[in-house]
Amino acid sequence: MSADLSDLIKAGLRDVPDFPRPGVVFKDITGLLADSASLRAVVEGIAGHYAPGGVDTVLGLEARGFILGAPVALELGAGFVPVRKAGKLPRETYQATYDLEYGSATVEIHTDAVRPGSRVLIVDDVLATGGTGQAAVRLVRQAGGTVVGFSVLIELGFLEGRRRLTDVELHALAVL
């Protein structure tokens, strides 16, 4: 992780207390995304960590993982698959339920979204408790893919989500 990129990310964040629930401090990345140079640096920081040709598919986690995952997929010459909240996809799906810092949720992908044997990079904005990441890893494996990495813009180190993802390579551009 580049110190300059980490500093750029930290400077572009805004904390929003008590969102979406009391006691949660939401990390607002919209200011960072609104600046084209910052957005480019973040996309290149994620994509540059992986070998050209080493990723077939990028999974972006709803919703801010979509924003980061799609341009990372383009940089890597890979396809993009959205991981959606339950009930948002129109065809047959694989589902995984997980706990997060303020409740539980279910995510899903289409059953044909990841080809068996595909090398998959999972991308999200924030690693908090690791529940969403664990669920995404389960979805990839259920579809027959291989997770080559889990990359995030920000890791909230104090929540120790990394402990739940010990069997995949975790790459964070900034750790708070």
Instruction: Tell me, yes or no, if 64 is annotated catalytic.
Output: yes
- Rounded Cα–Cα distance for residues 139 and 124 (Å): 15
- Catalytic hit among 14, 21, 40, 101: 101
Beta-carbon count within 10 A of 121 CB: 28
Beta-carbon count within 10 A of 68 CB: 26
Cα 137 to chain centroid distance, Å, stands at 11
Instruction: Tell me, yes or no, if 160 is annotated catalytic.
Output: no
Both tokens of 128, joined, read 């908090």
Both tokens of 103, joined, read 């409740």
Known catalytic residues? 64, 101
